[in-house]
Amino acid sequence: QVQLAESGGGLVQAGGPLRISCAASGRTFSNYLMAWFRQAPGKEREFVAGISRGGSRTDYADSVKGRFTISRDNAKNTAYLQMNSLKPEDTAVYYCAAQLRSYGIGYSPSEYPYWGQGTQVTVSS
- pLDDT tens-digit profile, the chain (125 residues): 899 999 999 999 999 999 999 999 987 999 999 999 999 999 999 999 999 999 999 999 999 999 999 999 999 999 999 999 999 999 999 999 999 987 889 999 999 999 999 999 999 99
Measure Cα distances from 33 to 6, 30, 38, 91 in Å. Answer: 16, 8, 17, 25
The strand pairing partners of 6, in sequence order, are 22
Measure Cα distances from 101 to 29, 36, 51, 52, 124 in Å. Answer: 12, 15, 11, 8, 37
Q: Provide the residue type at 12 as one letter.
A: V
The strand pairing partners of 25, in sequence order, are 3
Q: Tell me how crowded residue 115 is: count the other CB atoms within 10 A of its CB.
A: 16
42-53: b (≥16 Cβ within 10 Å) or e: eeebebbbbbbb
58 touches 48 (CB < 8 A): no
